[in-house]
Chains A and B, each alone.
Chain A
Amino acid sequence: MNEQERQLITKIFSEYYAEAELDIPGIEHREFGIGNYKKIDARHLSFGSVSDFRRYLTTNTPFFVSHSTSYYDFPGATPIQKKQWKGADVVFDLDIHAEGKYGAYALLDRVKADLVRLVDDFLIGDFGVDEKDLIIDFSGNRGYHVHIRDKRFLPIGAEERRELVDYIMGHGLDYSKFFSDSYSADSRKARLVGPRPEEGGYRGRFARGVIKLLETDPKSISRLFSDPGKREFFISGVKEGNWSKTSLKFDDLVSRLKIVADGLAVQSVDTDAGVTQDLSKLIRVPNTIHGETGLIAKVIDGRGAIEKFEPLRDALIETKTIANETMMILFTEDVPALVLGGENMGPFKKDERREFRLPISMFYVLKGSASIVIR
């Protein structure tokens, strides 16, 4: 991207920021970082109010803006010890890695499915977080961010946050411990006692998962269960926590159920970057622009809106001034087909000239796949 292109794009970003919804609780206690050529060029910035922050964004207009998950007494102080930590939101970063520059976009639905499970099963179901304390936003590129702003979680430290991540990712989960042998007084025959579907946490999810799999693909557990009679008999037992209503040996049955246990955790939580457990981490400010895509880290309007949210359609910059504008671009490399802005785009060949709506052209330019044709 040359300087002229950069200036043009900066102008569009600035227009967006003049009207953007920037609701940042505790803004005066957060540290900010900004970047132009990489995600963070400078950090330890602080803003006293949303209007100060907006003024900064419209006049300086960085390509990336992030804020701390932590709250401090002196967010602008350095080194970090002098900031005086007050607590931190619990934040989860879900993303997906794939081959090529555009590979991840085709897999965003998979991340969304993980997001739904993270929110419903883990955050609301197991952790007991109220929906109103959750901010869910698109990351602006390859995934989603979830911010828990529940006061009770603010003081917990880095190691405890790691516990939450391990729990969600199922690290150390030993589902065979869900089961125990039980002998009744009048019978010498052992019974395999296990979780019931209505139980909470991993146990209930496991029991429900087994029943679901038996109903949809029984053979994946055992050919025995393709017989409807045997299958229903076994399911009727599971519903009461009695896992013995089958001729399979206990050990054999339990090891066959690994296929269900393996699918219970949320795998796309990004722990490499340590987003959740690193208290000094900066994360993209919700509703600001990702400078590598021009897509907004758009806040999703509550849990109920996740399914309908299409990041490559709903996170495009749409302001009044640019609504009807188009931009001519010249592709500088081959680009695969993609659904963008609700339309099927591409594939495009190197040296192809195309005119699109402004946010779409900008996406390809920022991805480094095209240059702007100045007329």
Chain B
Amino acid sequence: MAEQGSLDFAVRYPFSPSAKDAITDIAVNERIIILARNRIMKSLMNDSSGRMLIHEADKKEDIASFAVARMILGILRNNYLTNTFAVNESKMMHHFLNREDEATALEVSTIFGIVPKPKAGAKPVEDILELDLPSYLRCCPRSPAYRLINRRLVHGMVEIKSDEWKRLVEEAARKHIERIPIVKDPPEELKEAGKKILETLPKTDNSKLEAIKVEDHPPCVAKLLDNLAKHENLPHQARWFLAAYFLSLNTSEADIVKIFSGAPDYSEKVTSYQVAHIKKKGYSVPSCATVLGYGLCVADCRIGSPLAWHRLGRQRKEEIRK
């Protein structure tokens, strides 16, 4: 447990105001820049493990490395790196949050304006909290379980369980970290660190664009492909839907795996396994009603199944796209 205001709290939650206060007396140096670079590289390897820090100086450097990493990302303005970093840092925060007592977790949650209350009249063992609707909407993950239609909502309060609460905080942290600062006149050392990170990135694979043309597909699929191109994180159902959809169009497994290479948490191994699994199970493409239920429908095609798109005439397709 890390008490609010302590250095340990600031290490775990480097986006908190107390983290800002903790590093007012230290200047950016070479060591911090290396730590910042490592912090970004760590996210590229989906490594969300924490570091064991004992000395006060190490702790302060660690906190500063978060701020400097965001500055480097602010210089690079590379969506893939920023989103990958935000996903990894927020996952790391979630691990810490799970170990905190309720008061500390609430302190962290309050940073993002998420202040749930125990539901009036509910027994503690029932574990039912209530969160106001605007806060819930701001930070609910995009998955069916969190869709408003599937929640109990009364008088502007949404019921949540405590593990869901922490997932909401993770999502709020991710969104917060994604909003990187604009860095004017960046120091040379930071620009240099940014360049080194870019050198380690694999060259963009354009072959996926040749195999799959966004404009050939229904608006819901096109939107998801567009999200991936912008390196945005897609919910599980969206990935599953894309895989099932392209499998049924007889797209090769290798090409489907490439589609996902833009995802901030992309792992070729995991994606290949999952695509192969979906193929093996022979899942059919979800109907439009199911896609709507996932919250992924974006147009009023009235075609019943996303696959029926390919039977529409050109004129009708253009009308729908409008």
Contact = CB atoms under 8 A, between A and B. Distances in A.
Interface in B126-160: 132-134, 137-138, 140, 142, 144, 147-150, 152-157
B161 to A, nearest CB: 16
A125 interface: yes
A128 B149 contact: no
Nearest to B137: A160
Given A172-B293, A201-B154, A167 B300 contact: no
B308 interface: no
A128 B148 contact: no
Nearest to A157: B138
A129 B154 CA distance: 11
The DSSP consensus for interface residues of chain B is mixed
A109 interface: no
B139 to A, nearest CB: 9
Nearest to B134: A152
B134 to A, nearest CB: 4
A311 to B, nearest CB: 26
A20 to B, nearest CB: 32
Contacts of A103: none
Contacts of A125: 154-155
A132 B239 CA distance: 43
Contacts of A164: 137, 148
Interface in B161-215: none
Residue from A129, A160, A170, A203 whose CB has the most chain B CB atoms within 10 Å = A160
B130 to A, nearest CB: 11
Contacts of B152: 200-201, 203
B241 interface: no
Interface in A145-202: 152-153, 155-157, 159-160, 162-164, 166-167, 170-174, 177, 199-202
B49 to A, nearest CB: 31
A172 B149 CA distance: 7
Contact of A171 (B133, B142, B293): B293
B295 interface: yes
Residue from B142, B149, B294 whose CB has the most chain A CB atoms within 10 Å = B149
A197 to B, nearest CB: 14
A156 B138 contact: yes
A172 B156 contact: no
A159 B153 CA distance: 18
A203 B155 CA distance: 14
A240 interface: no
Nearest to B294: A172
Interface residues of B, number: 24
B147 A166 contact: yes
A233 interface: no
B45 interface: no
A171 B149 contact: yes
B156 A128 contact: yes
Interface residues of A, number: 30
B303 interface: no
A343 B231 CA distance: 60
Residue from A163, A199, A202 whose CB has the most chain B CB atoms within 10 Å = A163
B154 A200 contact: yes
A271 interface: yes
B28 interface: no
A152 B295 contact: no
B137 A172 contact: no
A167 B148 contact: yes
Contacts of A166: 147-149, 292, 295
Nearest to A156: B137
A23 B298 CA distance: 34
Contacts of A174: 150, 293
Contacts of B142: 159
Given A160-B138, A163-B137, A200-B154, A170 B132 contact: no
Interface in A206-247: none
A164 B137 CA distance: 9
Nearest to B290: A172
Contact of A173 (B133, B149, B154): B149
Nearest to A126: B153
Nearest to B175: A157
A127 interface: yes
A167 B150 CA distance: 9
Contacts of A159: 142
Contacts of B300: 271-272
7 contacts: A125-B155, A128-B155, A163-B140, A172-B144, A172-B147, A172-B149, A203-B152
Interface of B: 132-134, 137-138, 140, 142, 144, 147-150, 152-157, 292-295, 297, 300
Given A153-B134, A172-B144, A172-B147, 9 more contacts: A125-B155, A128-B133, A156-B137, A160-B140, A166-B149, A167-B149, A167-B153, A201-B154, A202-B149
> Which are the 3 A-B pairs with shortest beta-carbon distances?
A128-B156, A200-B154, A172-B293
Interface of A: 125-129, 152-153, 155-157, 159-160, 162-164, 166-167, 170-174, 177, 199-203, 271-272
